[in-house]
């Protein structure tokens, strides 16, 4: 049995830089587990059938207990499954909110409920903390679409043109850019330079959607989100026809033809806020499917309708893998220190823009 002091294990398992691999807790669905997770079930009952709860609840209790032992915090993106989002996350939000929270946490370990670029951003902002991603394969088609060498070529080709990179990129790409942006602040970041031309890379659709709202000329790249590029205006209009009163709420990674027919476009948290504030009778989130399930509890009167496109990368993060991360301190995210210095500057410039 491990002993703990100051939130850290001091005996048992093997030592990794002062942190110790812990024994596996019991994953039985006992009365105690049922009692301790009853409040959480209330929040997810719209999306998780009662019959499935005995599978999730023991993991939720074990993870919440272990977080205290490890002095760990779980930062979860709005796309994480309801059992993660409502069950074990300490902070939930869009990419900008998660980056901000990552820079504020006092915890010793950060577990990223999200994809690899998000964990890298947390590491950039917390070089002295241990950042873990429960599945290293959780990537992103946008991050895959461009390399640091590509950005260096763009800088040569367009000397003097500021380079804004979407946070959905590797640290190596961030390191070559002047500043980062997210879907929540892309327009503000682009306009912050006060110049006529800006490179906004690598998301072509985000760039086109920002270009439609500014006088700044925007040059871009051919990267796309594999989830958002699948939606078509024709399919969404057919939902609108079949459901009078339906509001279309889109993410700016969608093609411009979708943004043109949307009632609202914004970051994932912006989309959630819109539904909370406006309570349309029916809503179609043009984004990753888990988000409607996560917000349903807060707006029970809103009926969510539409196609369900899942992000295969986000879905790689599961409760069993989060538990393994906490127990075994895997997978640790590291960034080359020389790259980290430059990438951090680009992320911090974005975070400090309006603070
Ligand atoms: P947000 O920053 O709006 O949460 O978007 C991140 C993302 O990956 C959307 O696909
Ligand atoms: Fe990347 Fe798209 Fe998945 Fe977001 S939804 S993480 S942009 S692949």
Quote the tokens at residue 295: 């917000």
Question: What does the pLDDT average to over 8-37?
Answer: 74
Of 141, 169, 251, the residue with max ligand 1 atoms within 8 A of its CB, to mutate for a pocket test, comes to: 251
Residue nearest to atom 2 of ligand 1 (CA): 95
pLDDT at 54 over 50: yes
CATH fold of 228-304 reads Rossmann fold (3.40.50)
**pTM for this one?**
0.94
Model pLDDT, residue 16: 57
Residue nearest to atom 7 of ligand 2 (CA): 225
User: Domain residue spans in the chain?
Assistant: 2-139+314-328, 143-225, 228-304
Name all residues whose Cβ lies below 6 A of ligand 2.
115, 140-142, 168, 225-227, 253, 288, 311, 313-314
pLDDT at 57 over 90: yes
Reported as a single tens digit per residue, the pLDDT across 272-327 is 999 999 999 999 999 999 999 999 989 999 999 999 999 999 999 999 999 999 99
Model pLDDT, residue 9: 38
Fold match, 2-139+314-328 / 143-225: yes
Model pLDDT, residue 194: 98
Reported as a single tens digit per residue, the pLDDT across 96-145 is 999 999 989 999 999 999 999 999 999 999 999 999 999 999 999 999 99
Q: Does domain 143-225 have CATH number 3.40.50.10800?
A: yes
Instruction: Assign domain 2-139+314-328 to a CATH class.
Output: alpha beta
Atom of ligand 1 nearest to the CA of 77: 4
Residues 6+ apart with CB under 8 A from 21: 13, 14, 327, 328, 329
Closest-lying ligand to the alpha carbon of 145?
Answer: 2
Model pLDDT, residue 2: 37
Cβ atoms within 10 A of the Cβ of 339, count? 19
Of 75, 76, 77, the residue with max ligand 1 atoms within 8 A of its CB, to mutate for a pocket test, comes to: 77
Model pLDDT, residue 355: 57
Q: β-pairing, 8-9 with 19-20?
A: unpaired
- Listing DSSP states for 132-158 in one string gives E-S-TT---HHHHT--HHHHHHHHHHS
> What is the C-alpha to C-alpha distance for residues 286 and 255, in angstroms, rounded to an integer?
11
For ligand 1, say whether the CB of 268 is within 6 Å of any of its atoms. Answer: yes
Selection from 55, 56, 1 nearest residue 24 by Cα: 1
- With cut-offs at 50, 70 and 90, classify the pLDDT of residue 239: very high
Residues 6+ apart with CB under 8 A from 235: 307
CA distances from 257 to 127, 229, 260, 261 (A): 41, 11, 5, 7
pLDDT at 146 over 90: yes
φ and ψ at residue 91, rounded to 5 degrees:
-135, 135
Ligand 1 centre to CA of 96 (Å) is 9
Model pLDDT, residue 245: 95
């Amino acid at each position: 049995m491990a002993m703990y002091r100051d939130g850290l294990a001091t005996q048992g398992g093997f030592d990794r830089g002062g942190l110790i691999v812990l024994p596996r807790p019991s994953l039985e669905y006992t009365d105690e587990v049922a009692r301790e997770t009853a409040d959480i079930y209330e929040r997810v009952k719209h999306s998780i059938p009662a019959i499935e709860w005995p599978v999730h609840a023991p993991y939720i209790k074990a993870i919440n207990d272990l977080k205290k032992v490890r002095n760990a915090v779980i930062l979860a993106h709005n796309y994480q499954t309801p059992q993660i989002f409502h069950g074990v996350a300490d902070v939930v939000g869009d990419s900008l909110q998660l980056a901000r929270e990552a820079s504020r946490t006092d915890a010793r370990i950060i577990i990223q409920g999200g994809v690899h670029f998000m964990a890298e951003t947390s590491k950039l902002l917390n070089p002295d903390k241990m950042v873990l991603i429960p599945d290293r394969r959780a990537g992103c088609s946008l991050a895959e679409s461009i390399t640091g060498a590509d950005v260096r070529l763009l800088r040569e080709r367009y000397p003097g043109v500021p380079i804004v990179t979407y946070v959905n990129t590797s640290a190596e790409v961030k390191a070559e850019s002047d500043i980062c942006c997210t879907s929540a602040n892309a327009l503000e970041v682009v306009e912050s330079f006060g110049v006529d031309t800006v490179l906004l890379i690598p998301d072509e659709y985000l760039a086109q959607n920002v270009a439609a709202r500014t006088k700044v000329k925007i040059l871009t790249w051919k990267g796309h989100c594999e989830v958002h590029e699948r939606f078509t205006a024709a399919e969404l209009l057919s939902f609108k026809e079949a459901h009078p009163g339906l509001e279309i709420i889109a993410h700016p990674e969608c093609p411009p033809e979708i943004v043109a027919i949307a009632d609202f476009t914004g970051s994932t948290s912006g989309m959630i806020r819109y539904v909370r504030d406006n309570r349309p009778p029916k809503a179609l989130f043009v984004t990753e499917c888990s988000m409607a399930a996560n917000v349903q509890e807060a707006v029970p009167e809103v009926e969510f309708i539409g196609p369900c496109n899942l992000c295969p990368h986000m879905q790689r993060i599961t409760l069993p893998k989060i538990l393994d991360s906490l127990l075994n301190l895997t997978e640790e995210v590291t960034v080359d220190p020389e790259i980290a210095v430059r990438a951090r500057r680009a992320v911090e410039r974005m975070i400090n823009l309006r603070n």
